[in-house]
Copies of this chain bind each other. A is one copy, B any other.
Amino acid sequence: MGTGQLATLIMQGFDGPVYPIHPTEKTVLGLKAYARIEDVLDVPEMVVMVLPTGIVPGLLADCGKAGVRAAVVTSGGFREVGGDGIALERELTAVAREYDIAMIGPNCIGVSNFNIGLNTTYFPYEQEPGGITIISQSGTYSCHIYGHTKRMGIKLSHTVSVGNSVIIDLAECLEYFADEPTTKAIAVYIEGIPDGARFVEAAKRASANKPVVALYVGGTGPGARAGMSHTGALAGDDAIYDGMLRQCGIQRATSIEELLDWCWALSTQPKAPGDRLCILTNAGGPGASMADTASRYGLRVPILSEGLQARLREHLPHTAASINPVDITFLLDYKALYDTIPRLLMESGEVDGIVMYGVFGTLLFRTLQAALKGRVDYDIENLVPMYMGLIEGFSRLPAEYGKPVLVSSFWGRDDDALEYLTDVGVPVYPSPERAVKAFASLSRAQSPRS
């Protein structure tokens, strides 16, 4: 696992000096290795320890003596296994306190800061840095998810796997990231919080500064049992946590997917000024699903005024619906679709943002063109500049009007328009309902403690 973590660090492009410590190897992954921390002439800013449990406290003390003041302890086998592990964790904690070491862990995967290419996990993050910071009592949710974020185009700022949290815990992370400027939204994964009062104080301060969303899994018997054997977390009653999170101004997600979905919108889009959603679609089914979901998640889908509907209908085919959902059905006038109609809606004052289904680039045309080679020749490349110009303009609408635009599509980043939108911060959700739920989070974020 240590080799994996070092490999990721190298791959991520961290450009500070890295000193592998290994009892026998002379080099590790091409880097000169050292037998002991004392052999390193420099004082490392941070150590990452992946070692058999029993020798961790002693070696952390050596690091402390060498002047190290920050540590990630990946090794497990402490409190979470009970028995001797509990005593070993006490010993480790005492060492960290004695040498004033800001220790993350034990039983964690550590920290990432993608702004400087730092990644102590064993998973590479193959994207640009973004605005979401993940603070997690699960190491997995701080790194395995990079496959998910890459596929979706969700971009991260930092991740912290707090593990057993004996020195640095969720509350301390919330305090830090409340003011950390690249963090635009904070995702928190919780199995149990031992010091509720401290957490509440930190969480209130953080959520006053930026949106915070939490996933709490300890509120059911099996969830609590799993958390106990995972990080030794003490879980509590679901309703109590629910109320506590609400009091802190923290939105509660029900799955890891929702946690990231919502933070994606919250870290890239303006908050919705209210709860009035406009659904813009080229397909009736997604329009109806989105309207139904909006209603179930506390949003209104207001009937548009006669005047606005009349202005919209100037640009719509006769089969279209203008009431809201605005269902354009089949429209080849892309200027109307990506510019005129969204602007009429954004300017109207009748809605607080748009969820749009039916944005697409050239993927479908390219697929058909490849299949019809010889039967028909049309030059897709000629269309691209016009098309992408409209998509670029469309992506700037949220900033222009101060209202969010979210997109839903069954295609993903293999389509050029959808790739562009996610790159520049317009989330594209893989199902209509998920886009609407993310919009609801943008609406709730406007008045977090209501």
Contact (Cβ within 8 A) A286 B431: no
Shortest Cβ distance from A1 into B: residue: B330
A255 at the interface (CB under 8 A from B): yes
Contact string against B for A residues 391-418, beta-carbon threshold 8 Å, 1 for contact and 0 otherwise: 0000000000000000001111000000
Shortest Cβ distance from A124 into B: residue: B367
CB-contact partner of A432 in B126, B218, B256, B374, under 8 A? B256
- B-facing residues in A86-126 (Cβ within 8 Å): 123-124, 126
Contact (Cβ within 8 A) A145 B410: yes
Shortest Cβ distance from A322 into B: residue: B229
A430 to B154, CA, bound (A): 15
CB-contact partner of A291 in B189, B225, B323, under 8 A? B225
Identify which of A8, A218, A256 gathers the most chain B CB atoms within 10 Å of its CB.
Answer: A256
- B-facing residues in A5-19 (Cβ within 8 Å): 7-8, 10-11
Contacts of A220 in B (CB 8 A): 291-292, 295-296
Contact (Cβ within 8 A) B189 A226: no
Shortest Cβ distance from A292 into B: residue: B223
- B-facing residues in A45-93 (Cβ within 8 Å): 76-77, 80-81
Residues of A within 8 A of B (CB): 1, 4, 7-8, 10-11, 29-30, 76-77, 80-81, 123-124, 126, 136-141, 144-148, 151, 189, 191, 215, 217-223, 225-227, 229-231, 254-257, 279, 283-296, 300-301, 303, 318-319, 321, 323, 325, 327, 329-330, 363-364, 367-368, 371-372, 374-376, 409-412, 430-434
The 8 closest A-B pairs by CB, nearest first: A138-B285, A223-B292, A230-B284, A140-B283, A30-B375, A220-B295, A11-B371, A222-B291
A-B contact pairs, 23 of them (CB 8 A): A7-B376, A8-B368, A11-B367, A11-B368, A29-B372, A30-B372, A139-B284, A140-B286, A141-B285, A189-B285, A218-B292, A219-B292, A220-B296, A222-B294, A223-B291, A226-B288, A226-B291, A229-B321, A230-B285, A255-B289, A256-B289, A256-B432, A257-B430
